[in-house]
Amino acid sequence: TTNVHEEIKDQLTEFEQRVKLSKAALQQKVVMTSSEYETQVHLIQEMLSERQRFDSKYDLLSEQYRAAKQNEQLLQRNFDEQMQTEKQFLRSIENELFQLPDEYKVKLLSKDDLLEQIQKLNKYIQNVKSQSQIAQLIVQEKAQTIQNLNTEIQQLNDQLQKSFDLVKEKTDQSSNMALQISQQEENANRLQRVEQNYQKLVQLNGDYLIQITQLQKEVQQKTRQTVLEKQITEDIKAINIKLREEIQELNQKIKEIQVDNSKYDEFKHKENIYLKQIEDLHRWEETHKQIIAAQGEELIKSQSGKNNATKTVKHSKNFDLSMKQSSTPS
């Protein structure tokens, strides 16, 4: 039993050292990769195997304790039976002495025989007392041994419970780390989608600028068509409305996606640049309206109504076809 206890204590010490090393490794604030996560899971499985081996040692020690308890009970029962036998023997001697005839009683009570019987009886009583004391010492020793075993078993139970709690804590930490890895991957995917949407918006902005440039060229070619001023203004407003809707939709998507603070500043900077481009577009629109209005007034003064009507129909068809082509997404 002592060797088993020493072996279990050594294994517990080794196990505690391994647990401390594992705990120190977990306390490092780094993101675990997939291979490190698998290694940690394997380590936890080894710790669970260690727990099973300790359970086997504990069962063996419990069996030895039960055997020692049974041995103690058997020794106590043998001692009780021996004491009962001795008491019966003393009673039988006493009964025999009192059942003797009177002449023998007188003879026994005379001189040295009585002293000899008394001495023998005293020696026998002393012997019985000595055996009783020895038996009590043995019982006390067994009781102390059992108490020590109980203490060691309780200590083992406490250590095993701590080990089990530590294993559970490490399992929870591994689960939390796996969840954090999954969340980080999801955030990375969201960030990538936002980047793609922003690139699409930049491309769309470029397409709109190209369309606006083409529209500007067409408007410069049709400055003499005052009838088209209203249509051009409405087309520009439609483009602005569509552009605002695209920006609002993208802003809503960006708000729904929670990204890191470091990326948020970058997105905010890009958004400010894009809003500045929109303001430039508005300024260009107002300037162009003024140009169109001035040139329209000059055109009305310089040309007749008939020529204007004929050219207006022709240019209107060309402008409608150009607007359809420019509004097609690239």
Q: Are residues 168 and 257 both part of a single domain? A: no
Amino acid 327: pLDDT: 40
Sequence letter at residue 154:
Q
Residues 252 and 129 in one domain: no
CATH number of the domain enclosing 50:
1.10.287
Given this model, what pLDDT does residue 116 score?
A: 74
Alpha carbon distance 54, 112 (integer Å):
70
Mark whether 160 and 60 lie in a shared domain.
yes
The total number of structural domains that make up the chain: 2
Question: pLDDT band at 314, cuts 50/70/90?
Answer: very low
Q: Are residues 32 and 166 in the same domain?
A: yes
**Distant-in-sequence contacts of 150-156, Cβ < 8 A, 24+ apart:** 150/65, 152/5, 152/61, 153/58, 153/61, 153/62, 153/65, 156/8, 156/12, 156/54, 156/58, 156/61
Q: Is residue 169 part of a domain?
A: yes
Verify that 34 and 137 share a domain, yes or no. Answer: yes
Query: What's the average model confidence in pLDDT over 274-300?
Result: 79
3-state secondary structure of 269: helix
Question: What pTM did the predictor assign?
Answer: 0.26
d(Cα 50, Cα 296) in Å, to the nearest integer? 93
Q: Are residues 168 and 239 in the same domain?
A: no
Q: Within this chain, do residues 161 and 238 fall inside the same structural domain, yes or no?
A: no
Print the domain residue range for 292.
222-327
**Residue 125 resides in a domain:** yes
> pLDDT by residue (tens digit) across 163-202?
667 767 766 766 666 676 667 677 667 767 766 766 776 6
List CB contacts of 111: < 8 A, sequence separation 6 or more: none
Q: How confident is the model at residue 293, as a pLDDT?
A: 77
Q: How far apart are CA 314 and CA 73, in angstroms?
A: 121
> In this structure, is residue 122 part of a structural domain?
yes
Identify the weakest region by mean pLDDT among 41-50, 77-86, 312-321: 312-321
